[in-house]
Amino acid sequence: MSWSASEIAALATKAARGAGAPAGQAARFGEAAAFCLMTGGAPAALEAALAAVPAGGPVLDLPAALDGIIARQGGELRSDAPAILIRAYVAVLPFAADATETGHGRWKIMVDLTRPSPRPTPRRISGCDGLIACMSELAARTFVPESEASRAAGAGAGLNDND
């Protein structure tokens, strides 16, 4: 089965929320995940990033670190996150930015706030069925449980389901 980049981004965002990431960090992970897969990145790196969420990891750490670097209009990033994931987070920034690995988990991040980021042409993504299953399971944690109490509170069609 194949997926659009926007479907992957939405599912990855929900998965990160289900894993415990705050909304902003989850949204940034969703964009980075879609970019990563569109450019041939390994689904295993994304699964590992989601698995690390409760204790930290790139989903929680990379956005904050990059925000500090952006505020200084460039600088050094120290991270043990997979290279493909760091490059994806940098690539989806709304302005031109580049990440160059300098060795031992260090990266030089250059930003140009005056130029928009080039965007790749979205394409269909396939070959990541295991990742999709993992993300779907995590995303399901965000659903309201089906119960009389949730229906009485207005979930779904509430108590007035007459189709």
Whole-angstrom distance, CA of residue 11 vs CA of residue 18: 10
pLDDT for the residue numbered 9: 96
Angle, helix 58-71 to helix 23-38, in steps of 10 degrees: 90
List pLDDT tens digits, range 77-116.
Answer: 999 999 999 999 999 999 999 999 999 999 999 999 999 9
> Environment class of residue 155 by beta-carbon count within 10 Å: exposed (0-12), middle (13-18) or buried (19+)?
middle
The model carries a pTM of 0.87
pLDDT band at 160 (very low <50, low <70, confident <90, very high): low
Average pLDDT over residues 36-48: 93
Cβ 45 vs Cβ 83: under 8 Å: no
Q: Give one DSSP letter per residue of the chain, joined into a string.
A: -EE-HHHHHHHHHHHHHHHT--HHHHHHHHHHHHHHHHTT--HHHHHHHHHTGGG--HHHHHHHHHHHHHHTTSEEEE--S-HHHHHHHHHTSSEEEEEEEEETTEEEEEEEEEEEPP-PPP--EES-HHHHHHHHHHHGGGSPP-SHHHHHTT-TTTT----
Residues facing 116 on adjacent strands:
95
pLDDT band at 33 (very low <50, low <70, confident <90, very high): very high
pLDDT for the residue numbered 118: 84
pLDDT for the residue numbered 146: 78
Q: Where are the domains of the chain?
A: 2-113+123-152
pLDDT band at 163 (very low <50, low <70, confident <90, very high): low
pLDDT for the residue numbered 159: 59
pLDDT for the residue numbered 57: 93
**pLDDT over 80 at 56, yes or no:** yes
